[in-house]
Structure 1
Amino acid sequence: MERILMIEDDLDLMEGVVFFLESEGYKMDRAVSKREGKEKLLGENYTLIIMDCNLPDGTGFELCREVREYSQIPILMLTARDTEMDEIKALELGVDDFMTKPFSLSVLKARIKNLCRRRENISMINSNGITIDKCKGKVFKEKEEVLLSAVEYKLLVYFVENREQILSKEQILDWVWDQDGKFVDDNIVSVNIRRLRMKIEKDPSNPQFIKTVHGMGYIWREKK
């Protein structure tokens, strides 16, 4: 059964949407604040998040940014303001769809179905016996879960999604650490790659997946 978390402080709207979607066969969980939403996301696995743009203790934009640090779960954002800037900001942060209140429940249902179909197509990545479940933010090696830090997870996803391409330290820094323009020492790249190799390579001292290309950077090699 598809399980959806709705994060919304308008209780009347929440009740209406939850009642409708449960009658359509979805399992619904509720949160009325950013804090409560984060707690539920850490404790459960969801198919999709419906979140309001404005919450009592923060914004949906902030929560979306935090969720995208570790998961690609589909996010449908709701807003009471029909402004282009809100929609642009939401999409740039990784929101998958955007609806302005008031909205049709039938249209909401159709968009949820579309996001769930899309999730099935892009949520799993496989390479060299490593499986990445992007929606749950989990990694498995030969079906055994590998526990990674948030940085190690982002590194692994970046490498696998760019397999057989040389990635410079600068590219890795920009993608994994420096997206907000904060300075990070480039030694942190080699330190975290070493830690990641310890967890996914059979022989970390002679890595077969993440190879060093001297003078250029690193590359994820796909075993034939």
Structure 2
Amino acid sequence: MTSHSDKLPRVLVVEDEPSIRDSIVYALESEGFAVDHTASGGEALAHLQATQYALVVLDVGLPDMNGFDLCRDLRLRSQVPVIFLTARASEVDRVVGLELGADDYVTKPFSPRELSARVRANIRRAQLNAPPVPLPNAVAPRARSGLPFEVDYERWQICYYSSLLTLSRYEFRLLVALIEKPGRVYSRAQLMDLAWEEPDASMERTVDTHIKSVRAKLKALRADVDPIVTHRGIGYSMREHW
């Protein structure tokens, strides 16, 4: 028999400070979320392997590992929305967090009610941007022929020279935008509009870092080819002639 809590969006809170963790859990449960919580990165990974969560609230400063490292590991296996909590408000920390695939960033001290609103907004955005469930025996649309890429839009997967790439959803969207129009030069602002749900909340330099990450993944498969062309002072394009 399915309990009422099983129907609620389930959130994992990873925070080692008991008073902060308790206030977050109370606020989220009061807003109608089912909440699991843990004080360490190791326990968080165990939870994430055993349970499907709608969102993760992740403290950067954990006792056993860096929250950034945990998010990097998580992004290899899942696109669950992540909200970072940190006591550091510097721009460098914000950039690092977003570049690792975090969806939002909250600096301590914060209002638990505001955090609850951000949790709800990020879960809603993730649901709206989720890829459609493929139909049985359906053939997923592919990118144009002539490039060494195959794009499975329904599964959010891209193969490069027949090898599957491990991409965050932002990396997937950036690469798809370039693949679909080889030779078309996009500015950083245009790529942000295409790849981010809330481009105004991000920074254009984040595009550079995501492109760098995508290039590294492509180069790991074919070191002799650089498919992405940099147009200094403008932006990027996909190599047109192969």
TM class, shorter-chain normalised? 0.5 to 0.7
Q: Does 1:117 align with 2:124?
A: yes
Relative to structure 1, is the Cα distance of residues 184 and 43 closer, same or farther in structure 2, using a 3 angstrom cutoff? Answer: same
Q: Aligned runs of 1:35-114 on 2, under 5 Å? A: 35-114=42-121
Instruction: Give, in whole Å, the separation in 2 of the partners of 1:120 and 1:96.
Output: 13
Q: Aligned runs of 1:1-224 on 2, under 5 Å? A: 1-125=8-132, 127-128=140-141, 131-132=154-155, 152=164, 154=166, 158=172, 161=176, 164=180, 178-179=216-217, 184=220, 186=222, 216=242
State the aligned residue count: 170
* Contact map agreement 2:27 2:116 (CA 8 A) in 1: no
Task: List per-residue Cα deviations over 1:126-185 (Å, max 9, x = no partner).
Answer: 6349743x7xxxx9xxxxxxxxxxx73637x8599467567xxxxxxx766825xx9735
Structure number with higher strand proportion: 1
Q: Structure 1, unaligned stretches of length 5 or more? A: 140-150, 167-173, 188-214, 217-224
Instruction: Give, in whole Å, the separation in 1 of the partners of 2:50 and 2:22.
Output: 22
Q: Structure 2, unaligned stretches of length 5 or more? A: 1-7, 135-139, 142-151, 158-162, 183-211, 224-240
**2:166 match: secondary structure:** helix
Q: Percent identity?
A: 33
How large is the RMSD of aligned CA atoms in angstroms? 3.5
Relative to structure 1, is the Cα distance of residues 130 and 91 closer, same or farther in structure 2, using a 3 angstrom cutoff? Answer: closer
Aligned to 2:206: none
**2:220 match: secondary structure:** coil
**2:46 match: secondary structure:** helix
Relative to structure 1, is the Cα distance of residues 36 and 164 closer, same or farther in structure 2, using a 3 angstrom cutoff? Answer: same
Q: Once the 2 structures are TM-superposed, how far is the Cα of residue 82 of structure 1 from its aligned partner?
A: 2.0
Relative to structure 1, is the Cα distance of residues 23 and 85 closer, same or farther in structure 2, using a 3 angstrom cutoff? Answer: same
Relative to structure 1, is the Cα distance of residues 175 and 83 closer, same or farther in structure 2, using a 3 angstrom cutoff? Answer: closer
* Contact map agreement 1:154 1:176 (CA 8 A) in 2: no
Instruction: Give, in whole Å, the separation in 2 of the partners of 1:122 and 1:100.
Output: 26
Q: Counterpart amino acid of 1:186?
A: R
